[in-house]
Amino acid sequence: MATYKSTLKSESGFTLIDLLFVCSLIGLLSTLAIPGLMRARGVAQSASAVGTLRVINSAQLSYAVTCGSGFYSPDLPRLGVAPPSSFQAFLPPELTSGATFVKSGYTFSLTGTSMGGAPGSCNGLAPGMGAPGYVAVGDPIDAAGNPHFYGTNADGVIYEHSATLSTAMPESGPSPAGSVIK
């Protein structure tokens, strides 16, 4: 006589309902975290923009004192040319490749009005091309997500505004728009 053993299979694991619940919970938590992450990203981009403008101010001051005979560089590429007595330029190449550059979600530019009586500089700027002042601005690429615009001039003070400061900022003196960054 043959006996048959019945074996019971143990079924363990997750059901489809369990998996759907976990996926929806992860989706909900991700949705709640996105605004905070976007705010943190905007704050980091703004801090980087202010830091970059401080670097530009420092480079312009060094240029005026050591190379420009009291005059500033009229553009960013000139700050990328090292003086003959130095191995380093006033700004690194990534900040001086053109009239503008993009860094950390911001577009930066620098302009200065040349003055006819300015002497030539030690790094090759022709006589009459040095500027008595300058304006450097940082405008966000995504103004809707990060509505902070920054600008500075020969005074070395950095201003924040809700719109671009490129047209409002004078080359020296206080800005008529924006508030001072401390």
Contacts (Cβ under 8 Å, ≥6 apart) of 97 = 77, 80
Which helix (H) or strand (E) segment holds residue 149: the answer is strand 149-153
Tens of pLDDT, residue by residue over 105-136, are 999 999 999 999 999 999 989 999 999 999 99
The conformation of residue 74, written as its DSSP 8-state character, comes to S
The pLDDT score that the predictor gives to residue 146 is 86
pTM of the entire predicted model: 0.82
Phi–psi pair at 106, nearest 5 degrees: -125, 150
pLDDT value at position 177?
92
